[in-house]
Amino acid sequence: MEDKMRDRNQLDFLSDFHEEEQGYICSYCGEYFEKGRVYPVEGRWYSAERMLNDHLRDHDLIQEVMKLPRSSTGLTEVQETLIPLLHEGMKDDEIAKRLGIAASTVRNHRFRLREKEKQARLFIRVMEALNLSGEETVPPHRGATMVDDRYGITALEEERVIKAHMTEEGAIRIFPAKEKKKIVVLKKVSENFKTGTRYTEKEVNRVLMRIYDDHVLLRRYLIEYGFMDRTKDGSIYMRR
């Protein structure tokens, strides 16, 4: 697997993997397993499904979530420190000694975490019952590093942005300055690349040059906004 440059976001971890038409993508690291392909491992051959299951065992949900920014997890700095220790099965006295705090303080934090869980469960029920009216917004793309009001756009609004800023052939007529519209256009551009296919920088440039004069800027934005990944040496690009 190629090394990834970009962190995942909280939406990725709602499931361990994402199924695409042609394969499976690990939510934690982005590794891709192509359906119908057999993978050689130590003299044996495994299906994509078997490879995915074996691969997922290498990831720990707690460790992966702790890599996310607090803006995504909602955890405090103390909770980020405490949760991995609780996950290890450490007792209150052991944690207190490790952190240099009183055991009663650890018990208090355990209580707060349980209360946070109850609040989260209650909030989910409230949102399910609320059934917000109005036209549904388009879900954020998987690589979005921070989901905010920039993603509050409906399918109809998205269509209007595309018509205003792009030609019928898919070339960019006017590159938008507003963030919300910029994301819509970049999403459309990213559809020129297939999920799971590895592209060289030259191949990416060739596609982007047909779409916009400043293909270097366009390529940088695709990476920056999480529509594409690239290896650390910049030799390989993949659509998120």
What does each C-alpha distance from 215 to 40, 95, 171, 205 come to in angstroms?
A: 38, 52, 11, 6
Q: Are 157 and 192 in contact (CB under 8 A)?
A: no
Length of the chain counted residue by residue: 240
| Domains of the chain with bracketed CATH | 12-60 (no CATH), 75-130 (1.10.10), 149-239 (no CATH)
Q: Residue 156 burial (CB < 10 Å; 0-12/13-18/19+)?
A: exposed
Of 226, 46, 48, the residue nearest 151 (C-alpha): 226
- What whole-number distance in Å separates Cα of residue 27 and Cα of residue 17? 5
pLDDT in tens, 172-230: 999 998 888 999 999 999 999 988 788 999 999 999 999 999 999 999 999 988 888 88
pLDDT on residue 234? 82
pTM of this structure:
0.54
pLDDT on residue 175? 93
